[in-house]
């Protein structure tokens, strides 16, 4: 039994210093830290706590990770950090994870399968506690990872491999229908739809919801007002689509865009056109946090960013309880000529 004062020399591992100061073994220190309740008397716990505080000790994560075969890292692989909506979701996730003592590692896959795979590999090597895919894309490693034991959580876009996986997001199909019904209720008749590639389930569901919504109301969309230019980012898609539409001499009452970024791009096309065509009303999806400040004319389907963090954490903690978390969306109307 070491007397509580005999610290002739300190042994390696900072936990040793704590143990020495508290006059206990490192096993006890570890147990106190991890809240193993039935293995230490209140007095011992107090002594250890004091020592931890006094030495400002925090266990080195490598040692822990090595032993437990898992780290405190939670990987968030985002498809596009330049999208303020994704950044907002990431920020919310980070706060929620932090409260559980987890650390977010944020990566930008740029929607590229190869980069996503690279990150998946790396995060497996890091023994990430879980991997959150904020806009996943189909990729070879994704298949392998879901065979492993690392929890996978899909946010916004569903698992592109088709397997059933934890999902957090809004009901995109329903949101699409809501937009259609709203447009009809507003008396808007000539409707254009600009959308991203349908490889993303979110876009696919939104588009089908919109089309179905109009069809149900007997006001089917005109095919040649539905545009989906192949192009890199959403901003450019919007710009391109708008140019194509304008080139046809069309002037819709409402432009529906499957993301706010597409709407931003489209708006630019009308703005740059000095020929006096008025900008049509527009509605997007996501309601980027900046909209309130920068896009006063853009209506949007607001997704509850702030809620994503909690939902992700819940999906992580209760893998089975919440396989599917559908958050509520709502239409934010802006730019009415008269209210």
Among 24, 51, 145, 245, binds DNA (CB under 7 A): 24
CA pair distance 320, 317, nearest whole angstrom: 9
Q: How far is the CB of 211 from its own copies (least distance, A)?
A: 27
CA pair distance 285, 234, nearest whole angstrom: 12
CA pair distance 260, 174, nearest whole angstrom: 18
Are 277 and 251 in contact by the 8 Å Cβ rule? The answer is: yes
Q: How far is the CB of 70 from DNA (least distance, A)?
A: 9
| Per-residue DSSP letter, 9 | S
Query: What residues between 74 and 103 interact with its own copies by CB under 8 A?
Result: 81-82, 84, 87-88, 90-91, 94-95, 98, 103
| Per-residue DSSP letter, 37 | G
CA pair distance 257, 227, nearest whole angstrom: 10
Q: Classify residue 338 as exposed, middle or buried by CB count within 10 Å of its CB (0-12, 13-18, 19+).
A: exposed
Query: What residues between 118 and 137 interact with its own copies by CB under 8 A?
Result: 118, 121-122, 124-127
Of residues 136 and 267, the one with the C-beta less far from its own copies: 267
Q: List the single partner that 293 binds among DNA, its own copies, none, CB under 5 to 8 Å by kind.
A: its own copies
With CA atoms as reference, report the closest residue to 206 among 197, 268, 242: 197
Are 48 and 29 in contact by the 8 Å Cβ rule? The answer is: yes
C-alpha torsion sign, points 96, 290, 282, 249:
negative
Q: List the single partner that 135 binds among DNA, its own copies, none, CB under 5 to 8 Å by kind.
A: none
Q: Please list, in sequence order, all residues whose beta carbon lies within 8 angstroms of the beta carbon of residue 323, skipping any fewer than 6 positions away.
A: 164, 165, 166, 167, 315
Q: How far is the CB of 31 from DNA (least distance, A)?
A: 5
Contact letters (x/-) for its own copies, 225-244, by CB under 8 A? ----------x---------
Q: How far is the CB of 326 from DNA (least distance, A)?
A: 34
Enter the tokens of residue 310.
């909690």
Helix (H, G, I), strand (E, B) or coil at 208: helix
Query: What residues between 268 and 327 interact with its own copies by CB under 8 A?
Result: 268, 271, 289-290, 293-296
Q: Classify residue 267 as exposed, middle or buried by CB count within 10 Å of its CB (0-12, 13-18, 19+).
A: buried
Q: Does 73 bind its own copies (CB under 8 A)?
A: yes
Q: Quick count: other Cβ atoms within 10 Å of Cβ 339?
A: 5
Q: List the single partner that 13 binds among DNA, its own copies, none, CB under 5 to 8 Å by kind.
A: DNA
Query: What residues between 282 and 311 interact with DNA by CB under 7 A?
Result: none
Among 53, 63, 290, 336, binds DNA (CB under 7 A): 63
With CA atoms as reference, report the closest residue to 70 among 145, 151, 153, 155: 151
Query: Which range in 58-66, 98-106, 249-257, 259-267 contacts DNA by CB under 7 A?
Result: 58-66
Q: List the single partner that 107 binds among its own copies, DNA, none, CB under 5 to 8 Å by kind.
A: its own copies
Report which secondary-structure segment, H or E, holds 331: strand 330-332
Q: List the single partner that 104 binds among its own copies, DNA, none, CB under 5 to 8 Å by kind.
A: its own copies
Q: Does 69 bind DNA (CB under 7 A)?
A: yes
Q: Does 71 bind its own copies (CB under 8 A)?
A: yes
Q: Which positions lie near DNA, rule CB under 7 A?
A: 1, 12-16, 23-31, 33-34, 38-41, 43-44, 57, 59-60, 62-64, 66-69
Q: Which positions lie near its own copies, rule CB under 8 A?
A: 58-63, 65-66, 71, 73, 81-82, 84, 87-88, 90-91, 94-95, 98, 103-108, 118, 121-122, 124-127, 235, 264-265, 267-268, 271, 289-290, 293-296
């Amino acid at each position: 039994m070491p007397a509580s004062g005999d610290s002739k020399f300190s042994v390696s591992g900072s936990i040793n210093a704590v143990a020495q100061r508290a006059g206990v073994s490192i096993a006890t220190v570890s147990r106190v830290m991890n809240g193993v309740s039935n293995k230490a008397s209140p007095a011992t716990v107090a002594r250890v706590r004091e020592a931890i505080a006094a030495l400002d000790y925090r266990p080195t994560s490598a040692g822990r990770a090595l032993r437990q075969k898992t780290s405190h890292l939670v990987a968030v692989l985002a498809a596009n950090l330049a999208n303020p909506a994704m950044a907002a979701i990431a920020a919310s996730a980070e706060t929620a994870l932090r409260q559980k003592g987890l650390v977010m590692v944020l990566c930008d896959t740029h929607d590229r399968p190869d980069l996503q795979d690279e990150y998946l590999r790396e995060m497996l090597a890091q023994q990430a506690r879980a991997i959150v895919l904020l806009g996943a894309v189909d990729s070879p490693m994704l298949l392998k990872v879901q065979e492993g034991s690392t929890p996978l959580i899909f946010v916004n876009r569903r698992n592109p491999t088709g397997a059933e996986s934890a999902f957090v997001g809004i009901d995109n199909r329903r949101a699409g229908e809501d937009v259609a019904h709203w447009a009809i209720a507003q008396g808007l008749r000539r409707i254009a739809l600009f959308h991203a590639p349908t490889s993303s389930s979110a876009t696919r569901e939104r588009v089908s919801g919109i089309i179905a919504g109009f069809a149900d109301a007997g006001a089917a969309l005109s095919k040649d007002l539905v545009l989906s230019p192949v192009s890199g980012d959403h901003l450019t898609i919007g710009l391109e689509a708008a140019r194509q539409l304008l080139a046809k001499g069309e002037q819709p009452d409402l432009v529906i865009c499957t993301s706010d970024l597409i709407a931003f791009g489209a708006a630019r096309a009308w703005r740059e056109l000095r020929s006096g065509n008025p900008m049509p009303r527009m509605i997007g999806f996501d309601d980027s946090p900046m909209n309130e400040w920068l896009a006063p004319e853009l209506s949007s389907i607001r997704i509850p960013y702030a809620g994503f963090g909690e939902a992700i954490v819940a999906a992580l903690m209760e893998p089975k309880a919440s396989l599917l978390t559908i958050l509520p969306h709502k239409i934010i109307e802006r730019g009415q000529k008269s209210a």
